[in-house]
Amino acid sequence: MRLARPTCCLLVIVAIACAVHRQAVAAEVVTVTLVGGGRVTGPLLRKNDDGVVLDLGFEVVQIPAKKVLDVRAADAGEDQRSDRETDRGVFRTGRLEARDVPELVRRFGDSVVMIRNPGGLGTGFITSRDGHVVTNYHVVENHTRIQATLFRKTDKGFEKVELRKVKIVALQPLRDLALLQLDLEEAKGKFPEPVVINDRDDLRVGDLVFAIGNPLGMERTVTQGIVSSTTRTIDQMRLIQTDAAINPGNSGGPIFNARGEVVAVACAGAAIFDGLAFGIPANELIDFLVHRDTYPYDESQPQNGVTYLPPPYRPAQPGEKAAATK
């Protein structure tokens, strides 16, 4: 028996609809976390290097890979969706949930401190509840008298807490890293919440990052950008390159990802170019902190803490010039 043309078309449409329905039923329901903290939940149709495609029922949505922070099964337990942190003594590592930058600044901004020496200033960040602080080696190089400034939040805003009993714990010149410790009694209260360091080495080119520091002494300055390169090598050091503004005074400050995890330590910026800055990767920082006993600060070594000032300038006399030319 031969079917009429309308009947054939109807059967084809029904078959296609059934196939699409079976695909939708079989598709895994996932929650996609976006850069900035937003979430989208729906059946996963495709996931590749270009991004993910979700079926929202009324529309198919394609999300570019650069906007995707995480993809997880929608039925994941609450423990998989919450922050997970590990205390490792003088620092913490973990995986945090994505949030927008203002919220992350409110949470971790107080852990960023200003580091001063007789010759200038830089930035540091608190890594433990015992007051351990990470900064750059060149911020404290050739100095023994270090001062730190905490910014403590109060009902009336922020107040400065000047700390002068700053102890130098370890120095690693080759990686431009230094570990300090603040005095709890001098702080007169608890230290701010320590930062969480990323230990997964999952930073990608194009990822959102932001830095908090004190450029030119301008306290608690926040700058934002993206990762330009994860494999930049300068003077045999592997660095993270970013277009977030890093200026003199930012040195030693944290560079965070979109989760609020420290992924690098700001160490250099180009004074004559915009969008060219560098940071020491988090895995280098973790290696330094784990093996800090290998790089202890020794007060008995003059090259660790004595600054030799140049002699006073005295113009040469005419007779001295003549003697010098003979």
Catalytic residue ranges: 138, 176, 251
* β-bridge mates for residue 145, sequence order: none
Task: Report the run of H or E that residue 159 belongs to, with start and end.
Answer: strand 157-163
Q: End-to-end alpha-carbon separation of the chain, Å?
A: 122
Q: What are phi and psi of 276, to 5 degrees?
A: -135, 100
Query: Is 141:284 a contact under the CB 8 Å cutoff?
Result: no
The SS3 assignment for 34 reads: strand
What residues contact 53, with CB distance under 8 A and at least 6 apart? 44, 45, 46, 47, 60, 61, 62, 63
Residue with tokens 């960040």: 125
What residues contact 100, with CB distance under 8 A and at least 6 apart? 36, 37
Query: How would you classify the pairing of strands 112-117 and 60-64?
Result: unpaired
Torsion of CA 181, 186, 187, 191, to 10 degrees: 40
- Cα angle for residues 197, 250, 103 (degrees, 5° grid): 55
Residue 61 one-letter amino acid: V
Q: In what order do the strands lie in the sheet with 147-154?
A: 157-163, 147-154, 112-117, 120-126, 132-135, 177-181, 167-172
